[in-house]
Amino acid sequence: MIAQPQRTGVTVGYQGVPGSFSSQAMHQWFGQVESRNYPKFEDVFLALQNGAIDYGVVPMENSSTGAINDNYDLINKYHFFIVGEQSIYIAQNLLGVKGAKLNDIKEVYSHPQGLLQTSQFLAAHQIQGKECLNTALAAKMATERQDPAIGAIASTEAAKLYDLDVLAPSIENDKSNHTRFIIFGRAPEVLPDADRISLIFTLKNEVGTLYEVMRVIKEHAINMVRIESRPLLGNPWEYYFYVDLDGNLADPRIAEALAELKNYTTSLRLLGNYHRQEN
């Protein structure tokens, strides 16, 4: 069942346009690779399902604005496997057309996350935020409009690609602003240095089952990095849980804990055991 990764000669999909943070995360993980970009997150999952790409890259969480819930739901819906994680520093920049000045900007386009991550700067300068599908697309739109009153919040790479000036660098609220991206594929892949395990489970409808899950993890001395609860589609007021653990499946403690967790869950799915990287 476990495959060894073969990442040369593959095609990778991401949401957005060239210059987006997703494309940066893709290149940091894969290096120079053939890629395809898509308008929406779900388009990436559909492309993998249809065989148009070999891997997908999507953001899962930002350190200042939290989980990107759509992608938790999509990784659960499509039953793919996480084969890697890439965390990158997100420096948000105010971009404008050539010759524009900061005081000229009245509106900026960006992904909703980009607007949230720069809300303090926008409020201080009385700039109105307008949502679009991603930050690099915002830069492309600003170039097409050629209006000094319209800017974009995006990366310096997007500024270079779309011939825009950086009017104000690093305007994010949190200077430790990072986004965690997952790399996912059709089959699980485990390397000897894999150090992160992701699970999705649903609980038995009994008193204390979530407590029992936490107890099992604690008693096996496993570090739980993250837990997210999401509504279970088609089952009102029921939830599934996404959990990240530190560890490797070769560790007997992990195998024992996973076996014990089955006593308290109605479903338990291993999403992957993979290596995490940071910029």
Contact of 14 with 88, CB cutoff 8 Å = no
Non-local (6+) Cβ contacts of 123 within 8 A are: none
Across-strand partners of 107? 128, 150
Contact of 19 with 43, CB cutoff 8 Å = no
Give the whole-angstrom CA distance, residue 36 versus residue 26: 11
CA atoms within 13 A on the CB side of 263: 11
Give the whole-angstrom CA distance, residue 64 versus residue 173: 8
Non-local (6+) Cβ contacts of 213 within 8 A are: 201, 203, 241, 261, 264, 265
Which is it for strands 55-62 and 11-15: parallel, antiparallel or unpaired? parallel
Q: Which of 41, 45, 181, 184 is catalytic?
A: 181
181 is catalytic: yes
Question: What's the token pair of residue 166?
Answer: 């950086």
* Strand blocks (E) in 91-238: 93-96, 107-110, 128-131, 150-154, 165-168, 178-185, 196-203, 224-231
Place of tokens 């409020």: 123
Give the whole-angstrom CA distance, residue 85 versus residue 102: 36
179 is catalytic: yes
Non-local (6+) Cβ contacts of 229 within 8 A are: 239, 240, 241, 242
Q: Which of 65, 118, 143, 179 is catalytic?
A: 179
Question: Any idea which residues carry the catalytic annotation?
Answer: 179, 181
